[in-house]
Structure 1
């Protein structure tokens, strides 16, 4: 069986990020639909319009509850399935090597089959509980913040019309379009920076998938008695991971030839197996294993990392444009729709040019806001 890779991990966890992309888009569409009604009142009496629309915040919240509930059922079963599949993909590729090494006389302890190993299921259960807690928090935060987004749109649109800075339609286009670009806030960091639903959900599921894979591998290494591990390598590794990829380490720190795994950046948020990391560890049995990974040239790695970040940003900008288009369609704003479509076309052209220049693979699924 092929080893689990960073790209494979991203493909396996993307469906969860996709669900939150859809939730975010549908909530903003529901806000746009509410604002599409009674636009004449905004022109006739802006204060009366503000009061009338503020009274509709209850239905906005109820619609948010329906959207999240509908999608969350899919998410709950999907998360468990993804975590199990990621974990098994990580450990199954090791089993034949370990069995072969044991037959060759390596000092290993025969372990039960992966699916019969209680340690594997303990890891999965722990992460299922953790994922349930985190995604419930994301859902609650999205629900509360959709109200704040709605209030912000009403307040800013009203102020713009009262001061004469914008026409009613311009005011709605500006405020609603801005939130469509950003999304629904989900988390505020200690430095005040906001993370939005799609971005945060992507980070959570990808990090959790990586941790499940490595924790299940650790559990199997304990069952087999494996000490030496090889760290995977790929172009585009983060600066705090790059020095350690393609190297062999001792889990115990007691091997005379290889350095301790604890001496790496493991345990740091942006280090090995940390937030958004795509590295994995594999058993290394002297005399049996062939070192499959090698350190990547530093300059080449930095270029690949920079290009991967550029591509993700371009894909994100296309999704933002499509979300903006969807919102303006619900608002019935022809001018906004034309501008959003032009924005999408420009961003798609930028991505095509980037792909042609770098030779990277285009991922059209990452450019969509709906499946």
Structure 2
């Protein structure tokens, strides 16, 4: 079951990516208006330059969006896999403690389905961003020209007026069928949080359905919206009436947008076993819950205001305009936020990454410029050892036996699986060169699982995933470690039985 705090922060990196993109687009528009204001003195020059600048802007945006989509696709896949397994890991422990056999449970299809749906939403929002950028550019470029051509304003005055309005209104918002409108970054945050929770809940529901479990319990947290506070932390029946419990679907609204797992919801549920499961039904004072809810809403409001003023001062600075007003209001909201957090008696915590565009904590304020093409550098790595081809399926097109462990992948394991990081670093060479078994995963012919039991009393083995350098397109590249984590032997056996894994070698 995913914790409310996890759901509150999931997808932060994606949201910040699109926050930064929206700001870069506004900065780009402001720079184009400022640098091309002389072309607005005649209708012909204005029209010709408008089309030229629109083309240049679209070229830049298309390249930028291609970069963001590449990063987003990897992040979406990581978030969905991590959140699903994080949700069901504890459920499996409770099931096994209650005598249930979990070996036949499989979630890969559900995870693929959830990942595909979220990725489709992100792609649609990205395409929408390109259209919003073009619409915004043309609207404000026309506005500056009309003010100049009317004779009521000078070039400098028209430019300042237009960019000031551009700062206040920003990009056109994303519209929903319900009539609601959200900024592009808010739309991304909503899509990620909702998809992650619904995917994790679908996995939990699979467990409940396949094992014929009837009781579930919802999570609880202070500051829940009033309509959800009424049912949080309680036990419900799912398939048939039992005891004094209420109907899960009727009470929580699960499956609807306004109910559990719906829009922006941070609640989860999991299988409940009397006497075994942790009791989430802790008393929550309704008045205290409402007070905390209002405080959290006020904190989010101050954070939104700070991002708003941070964006406006960046856009104005890019056009060479005075930012005194924007600096003042940014500091004012920062002061009010600090007062609110200090008065919460330790309940509220500052989230510094939410107080600036892109979450760049500690970076000095300076105008945002159009990103220049970066020259990529080779990632630093350490040589790990040599694989024995016979233990790795003896692939005919293997380029090398040398295997590396990059600093970036080591940091990935440290962040995602901190409980086994030291174990992996200490035994990585041994796992690579002397595995207990190796497996080829279905659909991933270039990666091999190297599995070894490091601590015999743990009941689990460490699985290290190795990407093999194969074929002409990978000549000159080494084999490399992708990730590592612990896995139960029963899960490996089940995957092999279902054809998901092919045994290559066994010690």
8 Å contact 1:238–1:305 — kept in the other structure? yes
8 Å contact 1:188–1:194 — kept in the other structure? yes
How far does residue 37 in structure 1 lie from its aligned partner after superposition? 1.1
In the superposition, the TM-score normalised over structure 2's length comes to 0.66
Q: 2:216 aligns with which of 224, 229, 233?
A: 229
What SS does the corresponding residue of 1:241 show, helix, strand or coil? Answer: helix
Name the residue aligned to 2:332: 346
The 2-side partners of 1:131 and 1:241 are apart by 25
How far does residue 288 in structure 1 lie from its aligned partner after superposition? 2.4
Higher fraction of strand = 2
8 Å contact 1:182–1:196 — kept in the other structure? no
Q: In the alignment, does 2:185 pair up with 1:188? A: no
The 2-side partners of 1:166 and 1:213 are apart by 57
The 1-side partners of 2:30 and 2:256 are apart by 42
8 Å contact 2:224–2:289 — kept in the other structure? yes
The 2-side partners of 1:367 and 1:193 are apart by 24
Tell me which structure has the larger Cα radius of gyration.
2
The 1-side partners of 2:161 and 2:227 are apart by 40
Name the residue aligned to 2:493: none
The 1-side partners of 2:46 and 2:338 are apart by 43
Name the residue aligned to 2:420: none
8 Å contact 2:228–2:259 — kept in the other structure? yes
Name the residue aligned to 2:302: 314
Name the residue aligned to 1:305: 293
How far does residue 137 in structure 1 lie from its aligned partner after superposition? 0.9
Q: In the alignment, does 2:74 pair up with 1:72? A: no
Q: 1:263 aligns with which of 250, 261, 264?
A: 250
Structure 1 range deviating more: 341-350 or 159-168:
159-168
Name the residue aligned to 1:12: 10
8 Å contact 2:37–2:159 — kept in the other structure? no
Offset from partner CA, 1:264-314 (integer Å, 9 cap, x none): 222332221110000011221123234223352222222222222221121
Q: 2:237 aligns with which of 237, 250, 258?
A: 250
* CA pair 311-182 structure 1, distance change in 2 beyond 3 A: farther
How far does residue 89 in structure 1 lie from its aligned partner after superposition? 1.2
The 1-side partners of 2:300 and 2:215 are apart by 34
Q: In the alignment, does 2:88 pair up with 1:97? A: no
In the superposition, the TM-score normalised over structure 1's length comes to 0.88
What SS does the corresponding residue of 2:216 show, helix, strand or coil? Answer: strand
Structure 1 range deviating more: 318-327 or 271-280:
318-327
8 Å contact 2:92–2:102 — kept in the other structure? no
What SS does the corresponding residue of 1:230 show, helix, strand or coil? Answer: strand
Higher relative contact order (CA 8 A, sep 6+): 1
Name the residue aligned to 1:106: none
What SS does the corresponding residue of 1:292 show, helix, strand or coil? Answer: coil
The 2-side partners of 1:243 and 1:46 are apart by 64
Name the residue aligned to 1:151: 138
Q: In the alignment, does 2:50 pair up with 1:54? A: yes
Higher fraction of helix = 1
Offset from partner CA, 1:191-237 (integer Å, 9 cap, x none): 64422101111111111111112111112223433221111111111
The 2-side partners of 1:292 and 1:87 are apart by 20
* CA pair 246-323 structure 1, distance change in 2 beyond 3 A: same
* Structure 2: unaligned runs, 5 residues or longer: 361-507
Q: In the alignment, does 2:236 pair up with 1:240? A: no
* CA pair 185-38 structure 1, distance change in 2 beyond 3 A: closer
How far does residue 8 in structure 1 lie from its aligned partner after superposition? 1.5
* CA pair 358-156 structure 1, distance change in 2 beyond 3 A: farther
The 2-side partners of 1:146 and 1:211 are apart by 31
Offset from partner CA, 1:104-161 (integer Å, 9 cap, x none): xxxxx4112xxx742x111111111111211111011110111110111122223334
Name the residue aligned to 2:473: none
Offset from partner CA, 1:218-267 (integer Å, 9 cap, x none): 12223433221111111111232111101101121432431111112223
Aligned residue pairs, count: 355
Offset from partner CA, 1:41-84 (integer Å, 9 cap, x none): 44xx1645642442221111111111111111111100110111
* Structure 1: unaligned runs, 5 residues or longer: 103-108
The 2-side partners of 1:230 and 1:46 are apart by 69
* CA pair 203-178 structure 1, distance change in 2 beyond 3 A: farther
